Each structure stands twice: as C-alpha cells, then as structure tokens.
Amino acid sequence: MAGLGAATTLRRAGYDVVVLERMPVVGGLARTVAFDDHIFDVGPHYFFLDVSDAVNELVKHCVTEEEWRPIDFKISTYIGKHHVPWPPSLKSIYKLPPTAVFQYLQNAIAGKMPKQHVASEFLQGVYGKVIYKVFLDPYLRKKVPTSDGAAQLHRDWYNQTARTIHNVPDVLRDKMLQVEPDVVKTYMARYPEVEKRLAEEKAQREAEENDNDKQVKEATGLRRVFKIFGGLTRSVTATNYKKVLYPPGGVGVITERIAEEYERLDGPLHLKAKNVELHKDGSRITSVTWDGGKIDNPREVIWTGSIHRLCSMLDIQREELPFMTIVLGMMKLKRPLPDNEELYTYVADPDIVFNRIYYPNRSVPGLCPPGKDSLCVEITPTDQRMETMPEHVYDNIVAGLEKLGICKADDIEDIEYMFVADSYPVYPIDYREKLERIWTELDKVENLRSIGRSGQFWYNNMARSMRVGIEAAQDIMGTYKP
C-alpha cells in the first residue's frame, strides 16, 4: 500500500520510478489469496474512507465503478457468553455487567482521555475496570502474548497513534498527542510552519473547555439532570462504525488496480525481486541491487520492508522492537452461516485458541460458491510447532467454533493454513525512545525514506499506509504540507 501509493503518485507527476516487490504478487500484508474457489484476505483488512482526499482520489481513479463498494465497518466481540457490538453501544447494555455499563458511560460522558502511556492503565481509564477485566485484558494477552498483554504495551499500539512521513508523532492529526508538551515541541521543531495553526487550535479548544467547565458549574437541579441525560444519550446512541471500501474479489483488488495504473503509466514493476540490497557511501544510497538487476545513483530510495533489515544493511544498531506473527486458518464451509452484519469478531476467551474470526462473505457476496460459505480464524502462535505444523490445532479451532455456536465440525469442508510472518509491530513501553534512536541514524542518509507498517514500525491501517506513501511522494515533489 505505501510503496504503490508513492510510486503511482510519482509516475503520475512524470518521475522515473522502479518498483521492486519480493513476492510474486502485489499487496504485501493486504493481498488477497484463493483457496480453491473461496477468496480470503491476508487479514482481515478493510480500506477506511475517512483518511484523506488524496488517498480516496487515487483509489477511486484506479478501481472501476463496480468495484467501489463502500460498506459499514461493524465489528463485535464475545464478552462472556454474549455477542457484543464493539465499541459497546445501546444494544450492549443488557449483555454487560451493570458496573461495566456504568463505568463505560461515566467515562464516555466525561469525554476526557486518560494520559497514561501504559496500555493497561489507559484502557481502564477509557472503558472502565470491569470491561478491561472481562474483555480487554484477556484479549490482549492472547493477541499480543510476547508483550505480556496490555501491562507491557504502549497505549499508542491500541490507538494506532498517527505519525508523519518523517516518523514524528502527528500532533495535527492526533489530538490526543497535543496534551504531551514534549511531543508537541518535537513536532513544531520539525514543522515550524504549523506552529501558528496549532496555537490557534489550542486556544480555541481551551476556550471551549473553559466554557464547558463554566456550564457544568452553573448547572444545578433539573438543568444539571438534563445535561447529564443529554450526554448519556449521545454516548449510547452514537454510531460506532465507519465506511470502508471492500471491492468484489477481495481487498487485494485495490493494490492490483493501482499497480495496473502504475504500469499503464510505463512504470517498471519487478515481481519476485529477491535479495534486494541497499549500498551506502557516506550519507547517500549509491546503488540498489537485486538478483538480476542494479540501479546506480538513485535520486531517492523509498523502503517499505522490515526496519530491522534496513538497519542491518546500513550498519545501524537494531533495537528490541518485536513484530508479531500470526497463523490464519481459512475454512471452506458446506453451508451458509446465519446472516449478520459484523465483519469480524474479537474472541477473548483464554480457552479458545483463536483471537479473531472474520467472515469474508459478509463484506461482499460472491467470495465463495453459491450455497456455501467461508470462515477464517486468526491465531497468535504460542507453540513453536504452530509455525511449521499448524494442523495440530485443528481440533482446538473446531472446539472454539462450536463453543461460540458459529458452526460445527461437520460444517467444515476443508481448511488451509497460512503463516504470516511479521504481520503486526508490537509496541513495548519504551518504543518511542527506541524508534528515535533508529531515526536519528536513518535521517543522516539524505536520499532514503522508510515508510509503511514495516518500514516505520507503525501499526496502522491500509489507507493510512497509502497516505504516507502519497505524502512521501509529495515531499519528493516539494508539494507536501503537514
């Protein structure tokens, strides 16, 4: 997503670009695969439509009108024995413990985000201690076992905190960062042209907060009751989903169409480009080589692979910044599942081996043959055998599906496993400091940019990865505006 966004933007502006892709297909972690006549994503992945106009313009230009399929991004979780929309909504109230509902609504009405960096403390401040205990804590221990759950995880991971193309926390796009003086100072030092705009926004926000505080102090009797009731109503009736793009044929269609546009513009695309190496002399990348090819004296190099491999090539000290691997169990079902609107479901139960289920055919129909269905479960390996022999967990997968009432063993026609290495970066508590040490060295290389989920060690979504690619291209062209 990041690489193709950058390459196609540059080609549209007339720049000479060469794209190297190590796999036989484009898409990276957002590609689509076929299991016989059933279509699955290496995900699940959905393309959010609220990220930027530039992203939407590029994608809409490349996909066909028939492929532009906005859908509602509705997800859910199992809390105890209940199937609960996420984030919790009015429909959730009778399915949650009363104390959980009270704490969540109390925090939602207050509208103040906690400032703690430790994810466990932050999440309790947002959702309350009860929802944290019954869902978030056990879920994150399953999802991110290498970090010992949320107690050793930075809250930026859960929030997917925004960053710029220069790997600076993005104060303008992420209002939560504006309460951190050191982060604001770093941002303004990197982008001094936005200081005036930032100051104006801060003044306006403070004025609104002072006005709200004054109104709360003045509110007494029935007036105060009506104010609290209004806040409660807004909290429980708010829409908890956004619009996302999901084309027929799978989300990988997006990158396929953008790659086709890039090639239509005479951009060279080398698939199966093995053993890519960057060679540095002084402060510049002087050549890029791969099996069967070489480019000397590139004006700019945009890297979207592993940040760890990049550090190794450039003799930069690597940091303990772990990537997480997942195993996908992709199932062909003999009969359709019951109708529902949720695209995927989080599973926190520690006795169930998978942490997420996704239902491909709820995104768009036709991703499997008529009269059948598909199902995919995501597992974070805690057993080394799972990385080489995932078949031994089949009975556990079936037991989990039956426990949740999703389907039975007899409904499963076949299953195929996919091992997805380095699918998620995982943020330790001190990840910001570690990234800063890496970027201090990377910034010394004048013609190198490292972007995207892997290249920036940034847990983000597809559209934001493409946005950073487009903005990296704009920076090269001199049109980037933070």
Q: For residue 411, what is the domain's CATH number?
A: 3.90.660.10
Residue 272 pLDDT greater than 70, yes or no: yes
Question: Is the domain of 206 the same as that of 251?
Answer: no
Residues 114 and 167 placed together within one structural domain of the fold: yes
Q: Is-contact 99 130, C-beta < 8 A? A: yes
Count of C-beta atoms within a 10 Å radius of residue 46: 24
Question: Mean pLDDT throughout 381-388?
Answer: 71
Residue (of 218, 220, 212) closest to 109 by Cα position: 212
- Verify that 201 and 114 share a domain, yes or no: yes
For residue 455, the model assigns a pLDDT of 96
Strand 19-20 and strand 269-270: pairing? Answer: parallel
How many Å apart are CA 361 and CA 337, to the nearest integer?
A: 9
- DSSP annotation string for 446-472: TTEEE-HHHHTT----HHHHHHHHHHH
pLDDT for position 237: 46
Q: Any residues with CB less than 8 A from the CB of 475 and at least 6 apart, and which?
A: 165, 449
Print the domain residue range for 208.
75-237
* 344/219 same-domain check: no
Q: Is residue 37 part of a domain?
A: no
The structure tokens listed for 64 are 């066909």
Before 44, cis peptide (omega within 30)? yes
State phi, psi for 132 to the nearest 5 degrees.
-60, -45
Q: What is the pLDDT of residue 280?
A: 97
Please report whether residue 10 resides in a domain: yes
Domain annotation covers residue 218 = yes
CA dihedral for 376, 243, 5, 325, sign (positive or negative) = negative
155 — pLDDT class (breaks 50, 70, 90): very high
Token duo for residue 431: 């990840």
Lowest-confidence segment of 36-40, 215-219, 419-423, 476-480 by average pLDDT: 215-219
CA–CA gap between residue 379 and residue 357 (Å, rounded): 9
Out of 204, 237, 270, a domain closes at: 237
Q: What is the pLDDT of residues 15-71, one digit of tens each?
A: 999 999 999 999 998 899 999 999 999 988 899 999 999 999 999 999 999 999 999
Task: Clarify whether residues 225 and 83 are in a common domain.
Answer: yes
Question: For residue 257, with 0-12 CB atoms within 10 Å meaning exposed, 13-18 middle and 19 or more buried, which class applies?
Answer: buried
Q: Are residues 221 and 96 in the same domain?
A: yes
Q: What is the pLDDT of residue 230?
A: 46
Name which of 478, 382, 428 is nearest 151 in CA terms. 428
- What is the mean predicted confidence (pLDDT) over 206-219? 64
More confident position, 106 or 321: 321
CB 42 within 8 A of CB 420: yes
Assigned domain for 438 exists: no
Edge-first strand order for the sheet with 70-72 is 47-48, 243-245, 70-72
331 and 315 within one domain: no
Domain-embedded: residue 433? no
Range 184-188 average pLDDT: 91
Contacts of 34 (CB under 8 A, 6+ apart): 40
Domain assignment present for residue 121? The answer is yes
202 lies in the same domain as 83:
yes
Which pLDDT score is estimated for 202?
78
Please list the alpha-helical segments (H only) found in 314-393.
360-363, 385-388
Residues 395 and 418 in one domain: yes
Separation of alpha carbons 290 and 83, rounded Å? 50
CA–CA distance, 468 with 160 (Å, rounded to integer): 14
Verify that 328 and 249 share a domain, yes or no: no
Average pLDDT over residues 341-352: 94
- Identify the pLDDT of residue 212: 66
Residue 437 lies in a domain: no
Give the pLDDT confidence score for residue 221 in this predicted structure. 45
Q: What's the rounded mean pLDDT across residues 179-203?
A: 85
Of the pLDDT bands very low, low, confident and very high (cuts 50, 70, 90), residue 227 is very low
Amino acid in position 338? P
Domain boundary among 237, 252, 282: 237
Cβ-contact 259, 266 below 8 angstroms? no
Residue 434 lies in a domain: no
State the pTM of this model: 0.89
Are 8 and 56 within one domain? yes
Contact 444, 281 (CB under 8 A): no
Quote the number of domains for the chain: 3
E-strand spans in 317-379?
323-333, 344-347, 356-358, 373-379
CATH number, domain with residue 60: 3.50.50.60
Is pLDDT at 235 greater than 70 in this prediction?
Answer: no
Supply 55's token pair.
């992203």
Residues 89 and 227 in one domain: yes
Last residue of a domain, one of 237, 254, 280: 237
